[in-house]
């Protein structure tokens, strides 16, 4: 890369408030990692408004937590008066950005088109499409679909150097692996670089944002515009989110926290955030919520004084779930969480919310005539019938949050909430579910 100035920014400590500068605040929030000339970028944002974009490829049926970071950054910049463009990659989604290992399976055009529409619907609520800095939604298939092979080679490929393309970390790793990398995936960076140029020519875009794993692709666009058009533009990446212990951010190792409710229920989504470790919850308040820095610091201090109250986790879970799924879904998730742990009335939960709430509990199928002892044993809450009887005799067993003192208590069909589930509990926090089939 010839004369492009790039830097990496370290994230500030959580208890040090940022100044009034937009770049400083977004750095403090953990939304700035690598960037082109920071002084030029700061000056451009101060002079504003800047038209900026981020791309989202439909390589799955839903956005996930990594995309959520980008959506939040887009929203912060729009709230500061700048003009966002959200790009759905109907073209690049047909190719796919090279993965760290293994070739992507190419999805059909119909599947990619369907996923592109799903992503549009997920992106739209984060941005305002009215006013002087109204957002715009675009699809790169509109211009890439018309691109001929000759145009790709002459107008775009001419400005790319193989040495730079081969030096990309993902490309280098794939080349050194047994499976290698196809020309299809290798060419992805040409298409993304061309997106930046097209958006600059069409809408005056001068800034592209993305996750830190996209840094090479962002610079491909910066360099293409410099070489082809003699113009200077900016790139900005956010850190890849990890847990405080260094492990991957997700429900399981390598798992995704999906934003679509049909791929991860609002209840499960809420539970992910409310179960965050203390250090993660305080840090993620900066990145994933729109609370002011002063309020976030105050919550962090209160949490540190009484961590058992889990103020940071409850605030984080409520804010992020409301942001993604809305207030009604968040209230239902909170009610379900309270009911499951004995602080609410389980019979008042809706059927869908209850289904989501019990989905990951140990379960046993309902059988007519089964007793509370059968349920405790079947769900694995106790090791055997004698232990179940002791738990009942000591007052440590309940059915649908009502204590059971009779070991011969039969679970009737009327005990099945919505005709489907009966909650069994041993102690305060050990839960299982009896579920009727069908």
CB distance 110 to 93 below 8 Å: no
Closest listed residue to residue 88, CA positions, set 144, 34, 45, 33: 144
Closest listed residue to residue 423, CA positions, set 373, 331, 415: 415
CB distance 28 to 293 below 8 Å: yes
CA distance 296 to 319: 12
Q: Is 192 assigned to a binding site?
A: yes
Alpha helix segments (H runs only) across 178-292: 183-186, 188-203, 215-229, 266-274, 278-288
Sequence length of the chain is 438
3-state helix, strand, coil in the chain (%, to 5): 50, 15, 35
The tokens for 219 are: 């610079």
CA 367 to chain centre: 40
**Residue with tokens 């820095």, as numbered in its chain:** 293
CA distance 322 to 330: 6
| Separation of first and last alpha carbons in the chain | 61
Question: For the range 407-414, what are the long-range contacts, defined as Cβ-Cβ under 8 Å and sequence gap of 24 or more?
Answer: 407/371, 407/372, 407/373, 408/371, 409/371, 409/372, 410/369, 410/370, 410/371, 411/366, 411/370, 411/371, 411/372, 411/374, 411/375, 413/368
Those residues whose C-beta lies under 8 Å from the C-beta of residue 291, and which sit 6 or more positions away, are 285, 299, 315, 319
**Residue with tokens 């960037």, as numbered in its chain:** 35
Annotation: binding site for L-tyrosine:
53, 188, 192
Annotation: binding site:
53, 188, 192, 251
Annotation: binding site for ATP:
251
């Amino acid at each position: 890369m010839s004369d492009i100035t790039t830097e990496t920014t370290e994230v500030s400590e959580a208890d040090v408030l940022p100044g009034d500068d937009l770049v400083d605040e977004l750095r403090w929030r953990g939304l700035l990692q690598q960037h082109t000339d920071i002084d030029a970028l700061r000056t451009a944002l101060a002079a504003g408004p800047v038209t900026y974009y981020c791309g989202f490829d439909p390589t799955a049926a839903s956005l996930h937590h990594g995309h959520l970071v980008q959506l939040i950054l887009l929203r912060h910049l729009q709230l500061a008066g700048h003009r966002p463009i959200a790009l759905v990659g109907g073209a690049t989604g047909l190719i796919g950005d090279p993965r760290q290992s293994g070739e992507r399976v190419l999805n059909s055009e119909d599947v990619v088109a369907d996923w592109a529409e799903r992503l549009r619907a997920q992106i739209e609520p984060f941005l305002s499409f009215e006013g002087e800095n109204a957002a715009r939604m675009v699809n790169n298939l509109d211009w890439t679909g018309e691109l001929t092979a000759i145009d790709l080679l002459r107008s775009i490929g001419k400005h790319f150097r193989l040495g730079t393309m081969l030096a990309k970390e993902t490309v280098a790793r794939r080349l050194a692996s047994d499976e290698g990398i196809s020309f299809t995936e290798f060419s992805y960076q040409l298409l993304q670089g061309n997106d930046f140029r097209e958006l600059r020519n069409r809408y005056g875009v001068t800034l592209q944002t993305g996750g830190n794993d996209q840094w090479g692709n962002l610079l491909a666009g910066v360099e293409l515009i410099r070489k082809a058009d003699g113009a200077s533009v900016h790139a900005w990446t956010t850190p890849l989110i990890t847990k405080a212990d260094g492990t991957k951010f997700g429900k399981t190792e390598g798992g995704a926290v999906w934003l679509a409710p049909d791929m991860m229920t609002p209840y499960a989504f809420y539970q992910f955030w409310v179960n965050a470790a203390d250090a993660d919850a305080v840090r993620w308040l900066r990145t994933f919520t729109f609370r002011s820095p002063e309020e976030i610091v105050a919550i962090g201090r209160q949490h540190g004084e009484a961590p058992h109250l889990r103020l940071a986790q409850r605030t984080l879970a409520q804010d992020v779930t409301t942001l993604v799924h809305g207030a009604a879904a968040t209230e239902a998730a909170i009610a379900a969480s309270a009911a499951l742990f004995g602080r609410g009335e389980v019979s008042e939960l809706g059927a869908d919310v209850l289904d989501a709430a019990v989905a990951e509990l140990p379960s046993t199928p309902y059988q007519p005539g089964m007793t509370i002892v059968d349920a405790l044993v079947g769900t694995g809450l106790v090791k055997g019938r004698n232990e179940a009887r002791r738990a009942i005799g000591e007052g440590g067993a309940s059915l649908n949050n009502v204590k059971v003192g009779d070991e011969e208590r039969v679970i009737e069909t009327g005990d099945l909430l919505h005709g489907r589930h009966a909650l069994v509990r041993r102690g305060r926090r050990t839960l299982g579910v009896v579920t009727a089939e069908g």
